[in-house]
Amino acid sequence: MLTVEEWHNRFRQQARWTEPVRRFLFQQAGLLHAHNLLEIGCGSGAILIELATQTIAPIYGIDLKPDFLKWALSTKAGFRLACADAFHLPFESQSFSFTFCHYFLMWVVNPVQVISEMKRVTKNGGYVLACAEPDYGGRIDYPESLKSLGLLQKKSLQNQGADPEMGRKVSGFFTEAGLQKVQTGILGGEWGEPLDPAELESEWKILESDLQGMLPSEELLRLKQIDLEAWQNGTRILFVPTFYTWGKVENY
């Protein structure tokens, strides 16, 4: 089981991957003019820490895991956090300039209900954003000898109750929740220098946690060695289509 620190490092890694598109989305949502903003499923505060350097607007976050919230509060970045359920947000209607989530909807049973709650607490004319939702149904692994990693991780996520193909569905869910002018896209893929060793180790901690009990330890070690060598010799391609979606709140 991963520690809170290891999860925080993972969340920071994901935040680095999505930083360019998130900057674009926050610009679309009017970050510079926001009166306040809310992250659903804020975890250990990886995104909120970044936002605290970009706006003077009050920043709110909710999560169900007290250990993650405790870690976020330890940064002393001035967030306003609550241990709360995304299906029943503890805020009045039209409270926030915009509301967002990041790698979150894949983990909820009824995404439309959560998106509807995000819409409810967002002011008329504001935006609801899903900054990143992966789609493991389109994952690409190369060399071919590593293809089983993606298939196994998809199965593991399903076993954990996640929807590994959430990415392709988010746009439809936003429309179903009543958001207007819904737009969606996919983060690009880019490969050059080998991944930083710390990032590789973080990636493998997640894989080892996800695939525990699904493979003999010797086979997992063999795949890890192939993966590390492929990154080093420049042949490794790993691409998980990751969708972003945003929609406008227009209450007539």
Q: What φ, ψ does residue 102 adopt, rounded to 5°?
A: -150, 115
- Cβ(59)–Cβ(52) below 8 Å: yes
The order of strands in the sheet holding 37-40 is 80-83, 59-63, 37-40, 96-101, 122-134, 242-248, 180-186
Structural domain span for residue 148: 4-248
Query: Is the pLDDT confidence value at 233 over 70?
Result: yes
pLDDT digits (tens, 9 = 90+) for 183-215: 999 987 766 666 677 778 878 888 888 888 888
pLDDT digits (tens, 9 = 90+) for 11-63: 888 898 899 999 999 999 999 999 999 999 999 999 999 999 999 999 999 99
Q: State the average pLDDT over residues 141-152.
A: 92
pLDDT digits (tens, 9 = 90+) for 71-93: 999 887 788 999 999 999 999 99
Total domains present in the chain: 1
CATH number at residue 37: 3.40.50.150
Distance CA 184, CA 129 (A): 10
Predicted confidence band of residue 217 (pLDDT cuts 50, 70, 90): confident
pLDDT at 199: 78
> How deeply is 186 buried, as exposed, middle or buried, from its count of CB atoms within 10 A (0-12, 13-18, 19+)?
middle
Parallel, antiparallel, or unpaired for β 242-248 and 122-134?
antiparallel
